[in-house]
């Protein structure tokens, strides 16, 4: 959900079963950052995985239920998966996959945005999918994405390539 839908950690933790619409291939993000609701697409791959997860884990209200802790300090907590739990799951999965580079929860959201730009999505649609208030926040991804751009090169390379004798 973090990568496949570009959700923030709190948004992924707050998905209820009723927010999933497998027929329309969407998930409703309720009260995301800025207290706004939005719909994001669900891929067929993610839908298959979510259905298997739901069948196996039988979540009640929240898609991702945490384990209740007895005598927990700090007040009442609902049964959602904790932020630290999500962070631990991402860290553990990246290590298990052999990824050397540091990966955190937000890395997956950034990668979602970058990949969509590289696949040709326009910046305004991406802004809406990410739930950004300001376009400036989304424009950061244009500097990261390599959509249709050539890698930097020296003009000496093209000059000498043009002057080099042709070999047959």
- Active-site residues, by number, are 8, 33, 106, 109, 132, 141
User: Nearest-5° angle of CA 103, CA 105, CA 107?
Assistant: 55
The DSSP letter of residue 69 is -
| Element (DSSP H or E) covering residue 162 | helix 155-163
SS3 52: helix
End-to-end CA separation in angstroms for the chain: 53
């Amino acid at each position: 959900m973090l990568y496949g839908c570009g959700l923030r950690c709190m948004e992924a933790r707050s998905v209820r079963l009723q927010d999933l619409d497998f027929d329309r291939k969407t998930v409703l993000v309720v009260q995301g950052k800025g207290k706004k609701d939005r719909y994001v697409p669900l891929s067929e791959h993610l839908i298959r995985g979510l259905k298997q997860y739901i069948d196996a884990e039988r979540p009640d209200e929240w898609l991702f239920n945490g384990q209740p802790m007895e005598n927990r300090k700090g007040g009442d907590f609902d049964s959602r998966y904790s932020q630290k739990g999500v962070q631990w799951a991402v860290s553990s999965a990246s290590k298990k996959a052999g990824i050397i580079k540091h990966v955190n929860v937000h890395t997956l959201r950034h990668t979602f945005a970058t990949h969509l730009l590289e696949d040709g999505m326009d910046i305004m649609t991406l802004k809406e999918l990410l739930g950004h208030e300001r376009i400036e926040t989304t424009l950061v991804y244009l500097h990261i994405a390599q959509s249709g751009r050539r890698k930097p090169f020296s003009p000496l390379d093209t000059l000498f390539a043009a002057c080099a004798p042709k070999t047959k």
